[in-house]
């Protein structure tokens, strides 16, 4: 009771600052290690309620949406809620000039109106398990890194085969803690996914690039889909006979609102963090890597924007591509600033010094970890020598002109035809290429791609050391006398890969010779060969780094045996928890923990597509027709902040209250904490979430989709977090006792 009273008084008296952002992306299987702290913060659930294999649990409502986002099931009939930017590509895919669902939004008023999205799938986690012992079977400390990797790979293959025997599941084994631990993840994949609802871009992407990663935010970043199954409830490709999924677990929707200090948690699939990154890696990121990526992406965005601004149909074609590039263009700008401002390199160096002091205290730790920092530092000396070539290849070639990526997809066909593989295999590959041509050219603009090619080739030649460039590029520079527009004209005129009809003609009469001589194929193969050759030169350095990284993490854990460590994110299910909080981004600057529709109207600017407010939304605002979704003071909340530890991949993750009910969707991080993937900063790190009440307002008042409201379970009461103890009802003696206990703590 005293503990409860202390928590209560902390809020009443205003010294609740001990409840801060909780660092960590925790493995649900092991959440028992955190459950007491979570319950002390207000959680009303048990560990079994969160993760269970034998019974329905919260994990059964969480999905991997598409290839890189999270979603959640919010009804008994497989209704999915995720971010608008997660569904963006799918919404674009089913849009046409006549039915532009990005601009106009889409709402299915019955299940018959829901639209199947070709190629979209979702994954449910069936179970996970610690596979460390099996994965490291027969692995010894005196093995080379290459031999170690081969043995682990062999062991993992056996683990996966066993997990998928006699079932249709997909299994993967992921590495944790730098290769010190391994976990098995078993998924069930569903492929009949249909678009149910999406607000127009003016709501779902309000603020767009200008507001991306920024607070205050006013974006209704959500979209809705549905999982369909066979009549037996099993995964099935699209069929009119399929039925809505009978959900194993779904999240109730709580519309009572949030308040500062409320406990909340997020369950999702964070993509990747580098919290154990060394000071040497931070130095290279600041000095070269990050701004190289920014520089290349800035040029790509400029080229795409020029074409998009000139033609509305091109804007629709390239909207999703542009958004993907822009998102992490801005991210790396913010991350670099954050790393510098927060002196992350210095903090990493201090941690490494403390680590080596501990190592040098005993002969045992010296033998185990003495070479750790030297391995890492010497590895980065070598890696830095070819770092520019690496990033220019990835950003300017591999993720550059589409003609190159498309040509490279045909390289396996070329090889099969040259080696005279059996006709059945070759014909199957050709049929796959034929079906892929429609997808390739649906959202393709030759003018943009030609400009992209010319610019990327020129940037590569001007910025990568000459001795690390493919001889091919040097020849092309000489042949066209440094005129990269002429070079691009030649490629796009002679190659089959910039024209759908030429590709189709080739596939109808395929010849290996045609592919071998195609100028786009020649170019992309030259760049890939060059990259692989240079990467091979860093093989020893990468093995040193892998070993040093693994030893460093193992040593840190041994150095701090009582600390509950969490692994870096790797796009597997994690849980993070914290509270609803405001923050102070700079001296004399305070950000409230929520935004309202007032901010939408204050930002309105009809001259730019980023800040257009739809007429119907303005009408709702002007009439204050918020219904039961309004805040207690009559305002309409749009977004709110929490202290959660998230990253890319968490987009679309549910924000869940103490009772396991949905109160919002995570969709962004804040600008001041862009270095958070490398170093968590509790005073600054915030997650930006769209308030579920704003989501419901749009579904109800804006779209009029009562059918969707009816299938959800709506909760209208807030969880009771702590006993309500009014300040005047507490004696001075108790207050002094609590203050004294807090001071001692």
pLDDT score, position 418: 86
**H runs (alpha helix) in 360-445:** 363-369, 372-383, 387-392, 402-408, 411-418, 423-442
Residue 729 pLDDT greater than 70, yes or no: no
CA–CA distance, 691 with 642 (Å, rounded to integer): 11
Query: Alpha carbon of 719 to those of 142, 336, 352, 416, 592: distances in Å?
Result: 55, 40, 43, 62, 22
Q: Tens digits of per-residue pLDDT, 717-728? A: 999 865 444 444
Residue 7 pLDDT greater than 90, yes or no: no
Average predicted confidence (pLDDT) for the chain: 93
CA–CA distance, 277 with 349 (Å, rounded to integer): 11
Tell the residue number behind the tokens 């008042």, with chain if given. Answer: 701
Place 198 in a pLDDT band, splitting at 50, 70 and 90: very high
Do 101 and 59 contact (CB within 8 A), yes or no?
no
What is the SS3 assignment for 70?
A: strand
Q: What are phi and psi of 255, to 5 degrees?
A: -110, 20
Rounded mean pLDDT of 731-744? 42
Place 174 in a pLDDT band, splitting at 50, 70 and 90: very high
Residue 98 pLDDT greater than 60, yes or no: yes
Query: Alpha carbon of 722 to those of 3, 171, 625, 641: distances in Å?
Result: 11, 42, 33, 21
Residue 10 pLDDT greater than 90, yes or no: no
Q: What are phi and psi of 497, to 5 degrees?
A: -85, 0
pLDDT score, position 6: 36
pLDDT score, position 97: 87
**H runs (alpha helix) in 443-483:** 446-463, 471-479
Positive/negative CA dihedral, 205, 210, 215, 217? negative
Residue 740 pLDDT greater than 50, yes or no: no
Residue 40 pLDDT greater than 70, yes or no: yes
Residue, of 732 and 206, whose pLDDT is higher = 206
- Give me the helix-helix angle, 500-508 and 423-442, nearest 10°: 170
Question: In percent, how much of the chain has pLDDT > 70?
Answer: 94
85 catalytic? Reply is yes
What is the SS3 assignment for 541?
A: helix
Positive/negative CA dihedral, 585, 591, 593, 598? negative
Positive/negative CA dihedral, 132, 136, 141, 143? negative
Residue 132 pLDDT greater than 60, yes or no: yes
pLDDT score, position 722: 53
CA–CA distance, 318 with 525 (Å, rounded to integer): 26
Question: Could you write out the three-class secondary structure of 103-143?
Answer: HHCEECCCHHHCEECCCCCEEEEEEEEECHHHHCCCCCCCC
pLDDT score, position 3: 37
pLDDT score, position 421: 67
Place 739 in a pLDDT band, splitting at 50, 70 and 90: very low
pLDDT score, position 743: 38
pLDDT score, position 721: 61
Q: Tens digits of per-residue pLDDT, 607-648? A: 999 999 999 999 999 999 999 999 999 999 999 999 999 999
Residue, of 735 and 396, whose pLDDT is higher = 396
pLDDT score, position 4: 37
346: which 2 tokens?
Answer: 């210095």
Q: Tens digits of per-residue pLDDT, 334-343? A: 999 999 999 9
Do 269 and 648 contact (CB within 8 A), yes or no?
no
Set 84, 85, 218, 637: catalytic member: 85
pLDDT score, position 644: 97
pLDDT score, position 320: 87
Cis peptide before 216 (omega within 30 of 0): yes
Closest CA to 127 of 72, 200, 55: 55
CA–CA distance, 735 with 528 (Å, rounded to integer): 69
Q: Tens digits of per-residue pLDDT, 213-241? A: 999 999 999 999 999 999 999 999 999 99
Q: What are phi and psi of 224, to 5 degrees?
A: -130, 140
* Domains present along the chain, CATH in parentheses: 2-121+191-274+568-715 (2.40.10.120), 123-190 (no CATH), 279-540 (no CATH)
Burial of 376 (0-12, 13-18, 19+ CB in 10 A): buried
Rounded mean pLDDT of 22-27? 92
Q: Tens digits of per-residue pLDDT, 483-535? A: 999 999 999 999 999 999 999 999 999 999 999 999 999 999 999 999 999 99
Set 49, 192, 221, 691: catalytic member: 221
Q: Tens digits of per-residue pLDDT, 649-696? A: 999 999 999 999 999 999 999 999 999 999 999 999 999 999 999 999
Set 75, 495, 538, 651: catalytic member: 651
pLDDT score, position 489: 98
pLDDT score, position 316: 86
């Amino acid at each position: 009771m005293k503990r409860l009273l202390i928590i209560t008084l902390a809020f009443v008296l205003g010294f609740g600052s001990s409840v801060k952002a909780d660092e960590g992306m925790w493995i649900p299987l092991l959440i028992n290690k955190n459950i007491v702290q979570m319950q002390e913060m207000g959680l009303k659930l048990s560990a079994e309620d969160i993760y269970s294999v034998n019974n329905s649990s919260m994990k059964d409502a969480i999905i991997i949406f598409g290839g890189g986002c999270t979603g959640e099931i919010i009804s008994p009939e497989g209704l999915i809620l995720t971010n608008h930017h997660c569904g963006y590509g799918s919404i674009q895919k089913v849009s046409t000039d006549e039915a532009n669902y990005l601009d106009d939004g889409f709402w299915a008023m019955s299940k018959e109106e829901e639209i199947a999205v070709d190629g979209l799938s979702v994954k449910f986690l069936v179970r996970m398990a610690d596979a460390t012992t099996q994965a490291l079977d027969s692995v010894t400390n005196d093995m080379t890194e290459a031999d170690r990797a081969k043995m682990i790979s062999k062991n993992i293959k056996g683990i996966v085969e066993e997990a998928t025997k006699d079932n249709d599941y997909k299994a993967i084994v992921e590495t944790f803690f730098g290769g010190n631990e391994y976990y098995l993840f078993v998924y069930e994949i569903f492929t009949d996914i249909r678009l149910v609802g999406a607000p127009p871009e003016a709501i779902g992407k309000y603020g767009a690039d200008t507001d991306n990663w920024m607070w205050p935010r006013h974006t209704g970043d959500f979209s809705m889909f549905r999982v369909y199954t066979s009549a037996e409830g099993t995964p099935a490709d699209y069929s009119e006979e399929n039925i809505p999924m009978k959900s194993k677990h779904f999240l109730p929707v709580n519309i009572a609102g949030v308040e500062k200090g409320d406990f909340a948690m997020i369950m999702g699939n964070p993509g990747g963090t580098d919290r154990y990154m060394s000071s040497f890696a931070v130095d290279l990121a600041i000095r070269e890597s990050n701004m190289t990526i920014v520089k290349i992406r800035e040029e790509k965005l400029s080229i795409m924007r020029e074409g998009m601004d000139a033609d509305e149909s091109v804007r629709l074609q390239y909207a999703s591509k542009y958004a993907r590039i822009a998102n992490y263009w801005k991210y790396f700008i913010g991350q670099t600033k954050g790393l510098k401002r927060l002196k992350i390199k210095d903090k990493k160096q201090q941690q490494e010094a403390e680590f080596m002091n501990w190592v040098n205290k005993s002969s045992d730790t010296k033998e185990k970890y003495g070479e750790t920092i030297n391995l890492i530092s010497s590895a980065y000396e070598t890696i830095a020598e070819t770092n520019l070539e690496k990033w220019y290849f990835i950003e300017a070639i591999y993720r550059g002109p589409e003609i190159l990526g498309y040509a490279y997809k045909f390289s396996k066909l070329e090889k099969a035809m040259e080696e005279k593989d059996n006709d059945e295999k070759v014909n199957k590959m050709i049929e796959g290429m034929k079906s892929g041509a429609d997808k390739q050219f649906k959202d393709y603009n030759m003018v943009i791609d030609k400009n992209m090619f010319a610019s990327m080739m020129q940037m590569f030649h001007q910025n990568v050391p000459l001795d690390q460039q493919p001889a091919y590029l040097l020849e092309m520079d000489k042949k066209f006398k440094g005129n990269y527009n002429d070079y691009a004209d030649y490629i796009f005129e002679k190659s089959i890969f910039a024209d759908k009809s030429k590709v189709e003609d080739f596939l109808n009469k395929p010849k290996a010779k045609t592919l071998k001589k195609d100028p786009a194929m020649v170019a992309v193969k030259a760049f890939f060969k060059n990259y692989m050759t240079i990467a091979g030169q860093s093989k020893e350095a990468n093995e040193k780094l892998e070993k040093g990284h693994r030893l460093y993490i193992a040593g840190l854990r041994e150095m701090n045996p009582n600390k509950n460590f969490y692994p870096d994110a790797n796009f597997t299910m994690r849980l993070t928890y914290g509270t609803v909080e405001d923050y102070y981004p700079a001296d004399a600057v305070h950000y409230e923990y929520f935004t309202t529709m007032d901010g939408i109207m204050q930002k309105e600017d009809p001259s730019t597509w980023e800040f257009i407010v739809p007429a119907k939304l303005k009408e709702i605002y002007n009439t204050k027709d918020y219904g039961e979704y309004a805040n207690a003071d009559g305002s309409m909340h749009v977004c709110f902040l929490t202290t959660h530890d998230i990253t890319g991949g968490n987009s679309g993750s549910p924000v869940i209250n103490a009772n396991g009910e949905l109160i919002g969707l995570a969709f962004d991080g804040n600008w001041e904490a862009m270095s958070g993937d490398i170093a968590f900063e509790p005073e600054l790190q915030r997650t930006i979430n769209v308030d579920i009440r704003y989501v419901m307002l749009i579904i109800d008042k804006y779209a009029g989709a009562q059918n969707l409201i009816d299938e959800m379970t709506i909760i209208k009461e807030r969880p009771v977090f702590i006993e309500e103890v009014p300040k005047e009802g507490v004696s001075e003696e108790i207050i002094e006792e609590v203050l004294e206990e807090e001071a001692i703590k």
